[in-house]
Amino acid sequence: MQVLFSGLLFSGLSQVWYMPVAPAAPDIFTLDSTGAGQAAVLNQDNSANGPTQPAVRGSVIQIFATGIAVAGAVTGSVTLAAAPGSTDAVSVAIGGTAARIIYAGPAPGEVAGVIQVNAVVPDIAPTGPAVPIVLSVSPPQGPLQPIIYASQAGATIAVQSATPVRILQVAPASLLLTKTTATT
C-alpha cells in the first residue's frame, strides 16, 4: 500500500487498525449544545419549544438531531418510520410514551447530517417544563433480535395539556323570561 501525506509518498506495510463503527448514534441537539436540557425542538406553530412555550398534547413537534443515516425522507402515519437508504426504524418517546412519527429525514435547508423528525406529542404524555425526550433507531440486524440505538439521556421538552375548553352555562330561556303580573 502507498500513502501520500504532506506531499511525501510512503510505501510498505503498516500495522492494521480496526475501528468499530456503530450503524447509528442518534443525538438530539440541545439549545445550550451540551446534549442535556432543553432540546432543539419547534412547536407546531414553529415557535421554539420551552417552558414559556410548551408543546400541546396532540400537536406536532419538529425535533432536530444527528447520527442517523438518511438518504431521503419518510412520510406517513406510522409508529415507526424507516429512513430511505438506511432502512432504520426511527421512534420517539416523550416522557416514556411512544409518539407517532409523521416525518423522519433530512432537515430542509440544513447541512448534511442534520435530520428532522416530526412527531405527535402523545395525548397521555406527562406535562411539565422538562419532560424527557428520546430518539431511537433500530438498524436492520438480519434474523437476530434488533439492536436499538437511543439518543442521549437528559434532553427535554416542555409539554402542556390541551388547551381547556370553557363551557358556559346558560340558563334555560324559561328562567330568563319571567312574566310579571299586577294584582289588583
pLDDT less than 70: residues of the chain: 1-5, 9-23, 69-88, 139-146, 163-184
pLDDT in tens, 42-87: 999 999 999 999 999 999 999 999 987 654 444 443 333 444 434 4
Domain coordinates in residue numbering, the chain: 23-162
Q: Is 101 exposed, middle or buried (0-12, 13-18, 19+ CB in 10 A)?
A: buried
Burial call 23-46: b when 16+ CB within 10 Å, e when fewer: ebebebbbeeeeeeebbbbbbbee
Neighbouring C-beta atoms of residue 177, cutoff 10 Å: 7
CA distance 135 to 25: 10
3-state secondary structure of 110: coil
For 173, phi then psi, to 5°, come to: -55, -35
- Residue type for position 173: A
Q: Does CATH number 2.60.40 belong to domain 23-162?
A: yes
What's the confidence (pLDDT) of residue 24? 74
CA 65 to chain centre: 8
Question: DSSP assignment of 143-173, as one string?
Answer: TSPPP-EE--TTEEEEEEPPPPPP------H
65 and 88 in contact (C-beta within 8 Å)? no
- As given in the structure block, the three cell numbers for residue 67 are 447520527
What's the confidence (pLDDT) of residue 155? 96
What's the confidence (pLDDT) of residue 120? 96
CA distance 25 to 38: 19
What's the confidence (pLDDT) of residue 87? 41
Selection from 124, 182, 128 nearest residue 159 by Cα: 128
CA distance 61 to 92: 11
CA 83 to chain centre: 14
What's the confidence (pLDDT) of residue 82? 46
What's the confidence (pLDDT) of residue 145? 62
